[in-house]
Amino acid sequence: MVVQEKKVILITGSSSGFGRLTAETLAKDGHVVYASLRNAGGRNKGFAKELEKFAQVNNASLKVIEIDVTKTNSIDKAVKQIIKEQGRIDVLVNNAGTLYAGITEAFTDEQAYEQINTNFLGVVRCNRAVLPYMRKQESGLLVHISSILGRVIFPFFGIYSASKYALEALAETYRYELSSFGVDSVLIEPGPFETEIGKKLHVESDAATRTAYGAVGELQGKIFGAVGDILSKGQVANPQQVADAIKQLIDTPSGQRPLRTVVGEDFYTQQVNENVDVLQAKVLSALSVSGLAKVKTKTKA
């Protein structure tokens, strides 16, 4: 299916999982997609070639581009290249991320920084790179791939949740501050899905502290087992649902998109969102800025 309006879309973390599925889905839908990877000419060269082959086979406008979200220069170089080639960026999908799980006290400060550097600061850097162009266009869409763990808490995922809670606050703040420029900011909150990020799990470095937790630390197995049971449910664990949800948000007219979209098993996240939405509206009203919650549609986004 070819969309009526072709958009220029940049996706971070496109080597596998949500990012790759989203890149392929949107390219097949007729958009101009820049799928970014770290080390596209090295460690991820194989993934880059697979994406390029996909583009050829499907006659799709999908181009692999190098981005390391932990490096500002890498992001700025890629964004400038896209602007030079296309003249605009309509959508940024902030998907790149890593997963740290284990006894929270047993993670070093270096590990905590690494988690925040990719999942939160990486988004700050990417948004800063594209927003001057979107504000000038008076249109644009920022899609942030968060997690239900940015709204509810699983024990032993403290470092990861901290990064996603920070991302939730950041994306919602962008929503209000950018609304008058016609730029939209939304969040996707996936439940448990079986993707490559889970296979690249980072564990705590401080073995002595982990051991000191004894039986409490062993409860991690119960949680991982419960998540595994959910992933065995078939359709619930299909990551294509996330790509489809992103496509739907892009296809939805500016000003009509929900701030948060939960995908998959939600562990009461939707209920949390609905309750907090009511209270947040009251907060904006108390501050006399309720109008910032509505994205202005000066031009199509």
Ranges of H-type helices in the chain = 17-28, 45-57, 72-86, 109-116, 122-137, 158-178, 196-199, 207-212, 214-231, 240-251, 269-286
Helix/strand/coil for 65: strand
Name the catalytic one among 7, 28, 164, 296: 164
Name the catalytic one among 36, 74, 100, 160: 160
Which strands form 32-37's sheet, in the order they lie side by side?
62-66, 32-37, 8-11, 91-94, 140-145, 183-190, 260-263
Name the catalytic one among 146, 147, 161, 185: 146
Check if the beta carbon of residue 142 is closer than 8 Å to that of residue 185: yes
Check if the beta carbon of residue 69 is closer than 8 Å to that of residue 117: no
Check if the beta carbon of residue 98 is closer than 8 Å to that of residue 14: no
288 flagged as catalytic:
no
Name the catalytic one among 14, 15, 161, 185: 15
DSSP β-ladder status, 91-94 and 62-66: unpaired
164 flagged as catalytic:
yes
- Give the angle 92-150-162 at the CA atoms, nearest 5°: 100
What residues are labeled active site?
15, 146, 160, 164
